Amino acid sequence: MTSAQNLPVLFLTDPIVLPGMVVPIELDESAQAAIDAAQAAKTGSVLVAPRLDEGYASYGVVATIEQVGRMRGGAPAAVLKAERRARIGHGVTGPGAALWVEAELVEAVEPDERTTALAAEYKKLVVAVLQRREAWQIIDIVNQLADVEAIADTAGYAPYLSDDQKRELLETPDVTVRLTKQIDWIKDHIAEVEVTDKISEDVRDGMEKSQREFLLRQQLNAIRKELGEDEPDGADDYRTRVENADLPENVRAEALREVGRLERASDQSPESGWIRTWLDTVLDLPWTVKTEDSTDVSAARAVLDADHHGLEEVKDRMVEYLAVRSRRAARGLEVVGGRGSGAVLVLVGPPGVGKTSLGESVAKALGRKFVRVALGGVRDEAEIRGHRRTYVGALPGRIVRAVKEAGSMNPVVLLDEIDKVGSDFRGDPAAALLEVLDPAQNHTFRDHYLDLDLDLSNVLFIATANVMDTIPGPLLDRMELITVDGYTEADKVAIARDFLVPRQLERNALTAEEVSITDAALRKIAANYTREAGVRQMERLVAKALRKAATRLVTGDGNDSAPDKDAAPDKDALVDQGTLGEGAVLGYDPELGYDNVIDIAAGPQPAGQVTSLVVDLDNLTDYLGRPRFTPDSMERTSVPGVATGLAVTGAGGDVLYIEANGAEGERSLTLTGQLGDVMKESAQIALTYVRSHLEEIGLEPKVLDRNIHIHFPAGAVPKDGPSAGVTMVTALVSLALGRPVRGDVGMTGEVTLNGSVLPIGGVKQKLLAAQRAGLKTVFIPARNEPDLDEVPAEVLAALDVRPVADVADILAYAIEPIAEPAADGKTFAVSA
């Protein structure tokens, strides 16, 4: 039910008044008129409604005038107590200058169970908010409230509710709806308060920690000052260190400028840490430290020869470098670095030939420090030039770190696997190396982290690579190229005898008196157990043999050294071995025979005890098993259409068999073996040449008018390059003639449409591969004849190397002659 009253209206902008609230208000002209009208009507009540910009409010509260007076400043004021919610009706007339309206009072409804439960929940939430504020007196007042309407209208005092939300509550007569909205709003407020409190707590803890650290640091400084010690990380300490350090003038000026920034920066500033790290890096670099080069050229060459077998070209280059520097020093000329004075070498060759270990030997020969920088797989340009100091965890690049690690400005820096440097979205490290490896630029190398000129002209850079193809052209042009080809069989035997066997004996706790490997066994290992340009696999096999020998020595299971019990041993030999003394006698036992050797001094020796082993040809299979590689060129080329070519891979030279076959069908060419575009074009050229010269060969022009299939075995290995041209021509001619190619003949060279043989690369590596494969005759392009000067003499002695300018010269020799019956019924060979 509702009841209506005529009441003067008092509009308020702030606050929004809900039932149950007691509020003081300052009276302006209109408010004074409303108060006067209410007092004149002797009702003592006034309708308090929110002032709206868009019109009149629809709801207000009926409030009684509790007190009228003045505020401290003298302004008139009144205290109002809001009692009931009322709906504002139409305007009416009344005494005084106030606005009178008809107000319909909203009667309270008896609450149901749901409303009561909502009121109880809201009451708990209000108490929780008040507990956070520690408003214990207000909590007591709220706990005493039992009326649902009164509990709901306590939201009028909530500071977290906006005026619009409070007005919404004023205009919602249904208490259940009001409580539902209020519960949602207060829950949101509590969640927000919890987050705010958590943030405030974290900030407070951080501030307390910083303040505690500050106080502790001040106390620490005071203690150090009393002890006469300076703070090691202070700006004053850095200034002293920079002033006392032996730095170039430009570096000193920049370092002092950074010290000034450190002095102005706060200890809590992250920039202070960056500056300290940068200053530590600058002070740790050996700006003026250089090691003195050895001036004894002969001693340096002796060191290189003692550490490595062969590699004459790189040894000569190192000796030349040292000889020039020693002469300049002897004549009082400038020896320090500068534009163009650096040396940058790149050693290109197959794995296992000693490229990496050569760098350390060069450093030892020159008397310099040695640092190795592995570049394989590096894809970030910042790895070379460093990161900007503004990045978190920034560091200088690998080149600067290498110089710092060496402790001198003229070390030998080995850039290992430079051909395996990659590039992606982070930049191209090979491009960053252009400045590092340019003797005309690296005297002013600038790292991103240091941002200072660093003189690298005194650094001897030695880069290693397996292939040149993946090294960018501009980078390769800045380096002095030295090819390190594979070893000959004699080289491998010498390396194994002088280097590998002694090293593996030491690693397996053996001595040369206990186990020895003959040169014949080493030669067989190099020829039949490995087929590599280097000696890594050979060293593994030597280690395997020595491990088995060590096992036999420990277990006594050495059949090759056990004495024959039925044969009298050689007493003199036993004396020489140390088994018997000079006055020893040999005792014979019917059961043990001569196994029981009696020495007057030492007494009986254990029967069958092994004291030394020899690895030789007759027992090599016991240690290493059967040979893995045997010459197979005779077998592979025993049918027409197969020829033996020579190729160069990342692992050195290798033989390449080319198979050609034909099948009935449309005239076409099929190529298999994972070939590149250049090799496919070479096959087209070879087939065109053969088809156009069939009459000269003595065959019908249409003999190859069918489906020709050329296959390169080892199809899983990618192949490319033009040097197999003459081999494809030979295979096609062999197929057309129906006569096989000589099994001991290999060939290499690019062919043109008119049959000319063009030069190719890797002659030395290909001839080494031919020798390893057991070939006897090798055809090379005539224009590659000067390359034979680099081939070892023993290889040239083992091979019949024939330079040719026309592919017809190869065909005349390489194709097997025709076998025809003789007069006596036997067969004899007739050349084509």
523 C-beta neighbours (distance < 10 Å), count = 16
CA angle 486, 492, 498 (to 5 degrees): 130
Per the omega criterion (within 30 degrees of 0), is the bond before 563 cis?
Answer: no
**Catalytic, out of 457, 723, 734, 764:** 723
Give how far the C-alpha of residue 128 lies from the chain's centroid of Cα atoms, to the nearest Å. 56
CA angle 360, 364, 370 (to 5 degrees): 50
Sign of the four-CA dihedral 53, 58, 61, 64: positive
First to last CA, the chain: 131
Among 178, 138, 132, residue whose Cα is nearest residue 157: 138
CB 487 within 8 A of CB 310: yes
Distance CA 282, CA 278 (A): 6
723 belongs to the catalytic site:
yes
Distance CA 173, CA 178 (A): 8
Distance CA 588, CA 289 (A): 75
**Catalytic, out of 766, 776, 826, 831:** 766
Q: What is the residue type of 265?
A: A
Among 406, 408, 403, 394, residue whose Cα is nearest residue 448: 394
Structure tokens at 791: 């081939």
Q: Are strands 100-106 and 76-92 parallel, antiparallel or unpaired?
A: antiparallel
Distance CA 541, CA 523 (A): 12
Annotated binding site for ATP: 349-356
Q: Are strands 453-454 and 445-446 parallel, antiparallel or unpaired?
A: antiparallel
Interacting residues of 204 by C-beta distance below 8 A, sequence separation 6+: none
Partner residues linked to 647 by β-bridges = 654
Structure tokens at 392: 């978190």
CB 470 within 8 A of CB 348: no
Q: How far is CA 567 from CA 378, 557, 571, 593, 602, in A?
A: 66, 20, 12, 8, 22
Tell me the residue length of the chain. 832
Annotated binding site: 349-356
Q: How far is CA 457 from CA 329, 412, 444, 445, in A?
A: 17, 11, 9, 9
Among 319, 406, 313, residue whose Cα is nearest residue 362: 319
181 belongs to the catalytic site:
no
Residue in this structure with the two tokens 């740790």, named with its chain if needed: 284
Q: How far is CA 553 from CA 184, 283, 500, 557, 757, in A?
A: 88, 56, 21, 7, 58
Q: Residue 390, class by beta-carbon neighbours within 10 Å (0-12 exposed, 13-18 middle, 19+ buried)?
A: exposed
Distance CA 704, CA 164 (A): 98
- Alpha-helical (H) ranges within 480-619 are 489-495, 501-507, 519-524, 536-555, 571-577
Q: Are strands 59-70 and 45-50 parallel, antiparallel or unpaired?
A: antiparallel
Residue in this structure with the two tokens 């032996």, named with its chain if needed: 246
- Catalytic residue annotation: 723, 766
